Amino acid sequence: MYIAAYMKKPALTVRPETTIAEVKSLLASKHFRHLPVVDENGRLLGMVTDRDVRSAYPSSVATGKQNKDEMLKVSQSPVCEIMSWDVVFLSPYATLDDALILLDRQKVGALPVVDADRTVIGIFSIRDLIRAYTSLFGLGERGSALVAVKADGKPRPLTRIVHVLEEHDIHFSRVIRTRGDSAAVQNDTITIRVNTMNLRAVHQALEEAGFTIDAMRPESFKNTIPHA
Amino acid sequence: MFRPFVFIEHPSFLEHDTGGGLHPEVPARVALIRQRLEHGSLASSMTVRLPKESVRADLLAIHDESYLFRLEEACLAGQTSIDHPDNQISYESFDVAQVAAASGMTAIDLLETGQASSVFCSVRPPGHHAERSRALGFCFLNNVAIAARYWQKAYQRQKIFIIDWDAHHGNGIQSAFERDKEVFYASIHEHPTFSFPGTGYAEDRGEETGRGATLNVPLPPGAGDEMLLEAIRTKIAPAIEAFQPEALIVAAGFDGHRDDDMSGLMYSTAVYQELGRIMRHWGECCQGRVVSILEGGYHLEALAASVEAYLVGLVGFETGEK
């Protein structure tokens, strides 16, 4: 669950005096959108993004000498003129949940990962987060299905579900409890991603433990085939 | 006017032992189908044939040799499953799987030599989840994929259309042909986010040169006859018309039945007769070259009744019970 296992490392970094033109070509050639900017010891100073670079240049539609001069000026300017200085970062001991909250709160696409003395050791993007959760949730892998049960109002439903699944040697990768539209516990739904085709065995085990299987039928789906 | 049809099965299909307990893929599946047909309206027009011996090279067209050895060894060594506890095996399972794989090829021989005009292979273990080197979802050898390659190789029918209306997506068939523009794979199944094996999104249309020769139509849980037939009418029928196949293979799974608890689909028994009619009609567009191979179907009574309904539609013997 630690981001250290999912971040990109080592991170490609630039120095503040690197020109905007160099940064632009670096971002384009590596298909990156974020670059940490570091001092001579590799310590984090800030971040520069492809959006910073794009906004720095004049419109590509505009022509004329003035525009050309402007382009040249931007290209030769150091990246410290456009970078963000006051950036939030992650420690390698941050969890995926920490990263999710921070990426969402900061509204950024990637965060630098630094060690105790602020040396940049990696970068963690939304894309890395999606990949990490996809794998942790067992999505996209061949061999899983989703089963949902209604909470029965009795104590410790999650414990009982996990217990019954493990008792029956039913592998699963995710158990999520979602609140119903009222405060009543009976309206909660618990969805489980199971790694088996034998749903009959799963249903039977859960029913024996007192749960009702939720057929998960969309309440009012239109009678049409979804389009790709 | 009905056309006689050939029903392929083998006594060894009863010998693939999935360990009892709650395993749904049991010998009684094929036993009950046979029993139902023998006592039903189709009995007099049905010829039962045994599959021929399988040839190693035909299996190797779809599976890696190392996997075949691994599977065989697992069975002979007394392992109770391979690759996942779902895939229960017994000492005989490798041999039985080979007989199942040979059934589709036998069906093709019978059609091509004029000995049959309609064939159903009542086989187990099923095949459409089996990957090149991996058993999955009760499947070991990919019976349908092996048959498709055989049809191409033995009779030079290059353009094969596979229609799979089992409740689950046939990941193994898709991965065998997703880069192949000559074999079209079309599947209607319960949506992958809910249903095993979690593949078969509508966005998957084939890869590289095979782009456009894969068609997935996922249905939401609870979908019934109307949505199934709409999917066929609006998605599959135009695809088959555009593709102009020389032969059709049906991955015939019956677990979309409303009584079958292995999927959330809600098909009726009667809709399988309609499916049979549609398959017959499509078959007429490729000189009757249609082979149907059993995949899933785990509610025993519903399975037997649905297979019978399907065959009534397929052979055009419409006076049977609905």
- Tell me the C-alpha distance between B60 and B129, whole Å: 17
CATH number for A3-134 (one of 1.10.3720.10, 3.10.580.10, 3.90.45.10, 3.30.379.10): it is 3.10.580.10
Q: Which pLDDT score is estimated for B1?
A: 41
- Tell me the C-alpha distance between A188 and A194, whole Å: 19
- Tell me the C-alpha distance between A123 and A4, whole Å: 9
Q: Is A144 on the interface with B (CB under 8 A)?
A: yes
- Tell me the C-alpha distance between B138 and B141, whole Å: 10
Distance from CA of A227 to the nearest CA of B (A): 7
Cβ of B221 within 8 Å of Cβ of A197? The answer is no
Distance from CA of B20 to the nearest CA of A (A): 12
Q: Which residues contact A172 (CB under 8 A, 6 or more apart)?
A: A165, A192, A193, A194, A195
Q: Which residues contact B280 (CB under 8 A, 6 or more apart)?
A: B118, B290, B313, B314, B315, B316
Q: Which pLDDT score is estimated for A35?
A: 95
Distance from CA of A36 to the nearest CA of B (A): 36
Q: Which pLDDT score is estimated for A114?
A: 96
DSSP secondary structure, A121-166, as one string: EEEEEHHHHHHHHHHHTT-SSSS-EEEEEE--SSS-HHHHHHHHHH
- Tell me the C-alpha distance between B132 and B174, whole Å: 11
Residues of A in contact with B219 (CB under 8 A): 225
The ipTM assigned to this model is 0.86
Residues of B in contact with A204 (CB under 8 A): 22
Q: Is B229 on the interface with A (CB under 8 A)?
A: no
Active-site positions of B read 129
Cβ of B194 within 8 Å of Cβ of A145? The answer is yes
Contact B248, B290 (CB under 8 A): yes
Residues of A in contact with B221 (CB under 8 A): 215-218
Q: Is B264 on the interface with A (CB under 8 A)?
A: yes
Give the predicted TM-score (pTM) of the model: 0.87
Fold designation for A145-214: Alpha-Beta Plaits (3.30.70)
Q: Is A197 on the interface with B (CB under 8 A)?
A: yes
| Consecutive H or E run containing B99 | helix B93-112
Bridge partners of A120? A114
**Domain layout of chain A by residue ranges:** 3-134, 145-214
Question: Which of B131, B169, B194, B235 to probe by mutation at the A interface, max A CB count within 10 Å?
Answer: B194
Q: Which residues contact A176 (CB under 8 A, 6 or more apart)?
A: A190, A191, A192
Q: Is B220 on the interface with A (CB under 8 A)?
A: yes
Residues of A in contact with B195 (CB under 8 A): 145-146
CA within 13 Å, CB half, B196: 25
Residues of chain B with pLDDT under 70: 1-4, 318-322
Residues of B in contact with A174 (CB under 8 A): none
In chain B, the N- to C-terminal Cα span, in Å, equals: 18
Residues of chain A with pLDDT under 50: 228
Q: How far is CA A97 from CA A29, A93, A133, B73, B321, in A?
A: 31, 11, 10, 44, 58
Which among A142, A169, A221 is the nearest to B85, CB-wise? A169
- Measured at the alpha carbon of residue B104, what is the angle toward residues B47 and B318, in degrees to the nearest 5? 45
Closest chain A residue to B221, measured at CA = A217
* DSSP count for chain B of H helices, then E strands: 10, 10
Cβ of A143 within 8 Å of Cβ of B235? The answer is no
Q: Is A18 on the interface with B (CB under 8 A)?
A: no
| Consecutive H or E run containing B75 | helix B65-76
Domains defined along chain B, listed by start: 5-315 (3.40.800.20)
Q: Which residues contact A200 (CB under 8 A, 6 or more apart)?
A: B22, B24, B261, B262, B298
Q: Which pLDDT score is estimated for A181?
A: 66
Q: Which pLDDT score is estimated for B21?
A: 84
A145-214 has the same fold as A3-134:
no
Q: Which pLDDT score is estimated for B197?
A: 96
Cis status of the peptide bond prior to A16, with omega within 30 of 0: no
Distance from CA of A128 to the nearest CA of B (A): 21
Contact B289, B157 (CB under 8 A): yes
